[in-house]
Amino acid sequence: MSSSLVLIGPMGAGKSTIGKMLSSRLGYTFFDTDHIIEDRTGADIPWIFDVEGESGFRDRESAVLEEILQESNSVIATGGGIIVREKNLKLLQNFSPVFYLSATVDQLVERTHKDKKRPLLQVDDPKSKIQELYAARDPLYRKVADHIVTTDSRGPKHVVQTIMNLL
């Protein structure tokens, strides 16, 4: 078993929740790229998007990913858009294991509909935005994933056990 693993997938797939539970079960350190960025900047992600734009946020995200992939005995939960940068795709393709936490668009809409901290969903039609992001990003998640784990209508404990079985 590798000494670390990465969770990728769309916003609302459960990466942070699953990652915390999985790291506890394995006795590993948990890292969440979004939380690290917020801690280091002293600002939340919507503020970073407002001030630096998505490009500025993605620069920070790439730097954090490159750094924490060096950690051992860790579970790393990434932001949903981590795979939009070629540099990050290459980093993830050279890392194993990478788990793609997958969910249907309807499930993602349900899980994110009250969340005001997701800048890309602060639009008139969040479902259309989720569909658009899913269509663009799903092939990229699949490209770098060693394993695909569906999180639809499955409790976090069940998903964690599925990942444990795959390890």
Q: Give the CATH fold of the 4-166 domain.
A: Rossmann fold (3.40.50)
Which one has a higher pLDDT value, 77 or 2? 77
- Residue ranges of the domains in the chain? 4-166
Lowest mean pLDDT among 3-7, 77-81, 125-129: 125-129
Q: What is the pTM of this model?
A: 0.92
Q: What percent of the chain has pLDDT over 90?
A: 75
Average of per-residue pLDDT values in the chain: 91
Which among 8, 3, 72 has a CA at the least distance from the CA of 34? Answer: 8
Condensed to tens digits (0 to 9), the pLDDT of residues 52-96 reads 999 999 999 999 999 999 999 999 999 999 999 999 999 999 998
HEC string of the chain?
CCCEEEEECCCCCCHHHHHHHHHHHHCCEEEEHHHHHHHHHCCCHHHHHHHHHHHHHHHHHHHHHHHHCCCCCEEEECCCCHHHCHHHHHHHHCCCCEEEEECCHHHHHHHHCCCCCCHHHCCCCHHHHHHHHHHHHHHHHHHHCCEEEECCCCCHHHHHHHHHHHC
